[in-house]
Structure 1
Amino acid sequence: MVRTVRFHEIGGPEVMRLEAVEPGDPGPGEVRIRVDAIGINRAEALFRSGRYIEPVRRLPSGLGNEAAGVIEAIGPGVTGFEEGQAVSVVPNFSHNDYGVYAERAIVPASALLSRPDGIDAVSGAAVWMPYLTAYGAMVEVGGIRAGDVAVVTAASSGVGVAAIHTAARLGATPIAVTRDHAKRRRLLDEGAAEVIVSGKEDVARRVLELTGGKGAEYVFDAVAGPGVIELARAVAAGGTLFLWGAQSGQPTPYPGFDLGMPALNMRTFTQVEISRNPRLLRRAAAFITSGLRGGAFHPVVDRLFPLEQIVEAHRHMDSGERFGKIVVTVPH
C-alpha cells in the first residue's frame, strides 16, 4: 500500500485526501514508477473542482499528470526503458485514467521521457509542461520568428516564464503582462523585454506604443473571458491570439466582430497536441533539452511542499501569489 491523493467529491483543495492504495502492477504499455517529485498544474485544480475541459467520470478519483521518478516495473510490450531508469512523466493522459499524486504510480510508457543528465527530480517535475506548452504554440503552431513580438499574459506562471524564455531563445521580443507590480523586476530578470502591469496600465495601448502602433504578431493568453476583446486590439494585422488557459472562468467571446472584423487569427492550444504525438514530442524534447543544456532554459520553482501538504500546495496555487512552478516532493 502506498500513500495516494484522491478526492471523493468535487470541490476546493480540502476535498483531497491522502489514502493508502494498492499501486498494482503495470499492464500492457504501462510502467510503474517510484514518484520523487510532482509538478502541480492549474488543470488539476480545475479538474477536482469540476471546471476542467474534461469532466470527472468517477469518484473517488486520482489526480496529477506531471512527475519525476524512477522506473520500478515495466509492463508487457514496453520497449526503450528499463528498471531503475530516471524519468519524467509528461501530461499526455486523462486524469480519469491515471494519476501521479502518489508515492508510486502506474502511467503509460508513452508519457515518459528519460531525464537528461544534470536534471534532478524537482527540475524534472517542473520543466516539461511549461516548455511543451510554449514550444508547441510558439514553434509548431505559431511559427514565431526572430524579430516578432510575443505578448504573454499571466507571465509569472510556470508557462508564462517558459514562454518568455522560449521567445527570447527564438529571437523574438517577449512582453510580459502581470497583475502584480511586485513581480515586475523578476520578470525582467527572466528575460522579458518589457513588463506591463494590467489594472494600472492599458495593456493594448501600451503594446501598441511599444510596437510603433502595429501591434504584436503573437499574443499568448492564459486568462480568456471578456478581456479578450481588449487584448485583441494589441494583435497586429494577420497576427494570432492564442488562448492556452481560461483562468477567468468566464465565457470567452470572439472579438473580431466587436473590433470591426480585423485580420485576426484566434486559436486555442493545449500541450497535449504535442505530448500525444510521438513525432512532435520527440522534436519538442530535443528542443527543450538543448535549451536546458545551453542555459537558455531553466525550471523556475516557486515553492516546494511535501506530499502530506498537498492541500496547502493547491491553496497556494489558487492564491495567485506564486512565481513559476509549484512542486510537491515525495519522501521515501
Structure 2
Amino acid sequence: AHVIATQQQDLVAEVARITAGAGARVVFDPIGGPQFVPLTEAMARGGILLEYGALSSEPTPFPLFNVLGKSLTLKGYLYSEIVSDDAALARAKAFIVDGLDKGVLVPLIAKVFTFAQIQDAHRYLESNEQIGKVVVTV
C-alpha cells in the first residue's frame, strides 16, 4: 500500500507517518548493510525483523540500543528451514497450491522468454528491471 523511496525520503519519518507513530511491527529485509539501523529505528516496540538476505556488499552494523530499547526480535531466515523439514515443506506446498487454486495467490509474470532466448532471459535478470517472475518456456 505504501512505497518509500529511501534515496529521496527519510525511512524512519515515513514509517512513523504511515503508522501514525506506532512503527512497523514486522520487517522483512533481504539486503542488510547500513540500512539495517534505520529499519530498526522505524520499528515498533516488540517488533520482529526477519533478515533473509545479504544483498548489500557493505557491513551490517548491529543496532544494540534499538534492539534493547524496543525489545526487538531479529531472526535470520534461510529457505532450507522449510525445504529440509518434510512436514514444513508439505505445509508450504499445500498453502501455495491451495492459494493458487483459489486465486488468492496470483503470480506476477514480468516477462516470458522461449528456451531459444535463454541468454536474453539471463541478461534481463541481471538488469534487475523485472518486477515479478521471469518465465522460460521449454
TM surpasses 0.5? yes
Partner of 1:281: 89
Which of these residues, 249, 257, 261, is aligned with residue 68 of structure 2?
261
Larger helix percent: 2
- The aligned residue for residue 224 of structure 1 is 32
Aligned residues: 137
- How far apart, CA to CA, are the structure 2 residues paired with 1:283 and 1:273? 13
TM-score normalised according to structure 1 size = 0.39
Structure with more strand by fraction? 1
Provide, for residues 243-284 of structure 1, a one-character-per-residue CA deviation record: whole Å limited to 9, x for no partner: 112222322222224x47321211111222112211001111
Give the alignment partner of residue 45 of structure 2, picking from 213, 237, 256: 237
Q: Flag as ranges the 4+ runs of structure 1 deviating above 4 A.
A: none
**Larger gyration radius, structure 1 or structure 2:** 1
Structure 2 gap segments, 5+ residues each: none
Residue identity matched to 1:296: V
RMSD: 1.8
Q: Residue 313 and residue 249 in structure 1: after superposition, are their counterparts in 2 closer, same or farther (change >3 A)?
A: farther
CA separation of 1:274/1:260 partners in 2, compared to 1, >3 Å: closer, same or farther? closer
Q: Compared with structure 1, are the counterparts of its residues 279 and 306 closer, same or farther at alpha carbon in structure 2 (3 Å cutoff)?
A: same
Give percent identity, aligned residues only.
Answer: 40
Gaps of 5+ in 1: 1-192
Q: Is the Cα contact below 8 Å between 2:40 and 2:67 reproduced in 1?
A: no
| C-alpha distance in structure 1 between counterparts of 2:112 and 2:123, whole Å | 13
Are 2:119 and 1:311 equivalent residues in the alignment? yes
**Secondary structure at 1:230's aligned position in 2?**
helix
Q: Which amino acid aligns with 1:241?
A: L
- Equivalent residue in structure 2 for 1:270, among 74, 78, 85: 78
> Letter of the aligned partner of 2:9 in structure 1?
E
| Selected match of 1:302 from 110, 113, 116 | 110
2:58 counterpart letter in structure 1: Q
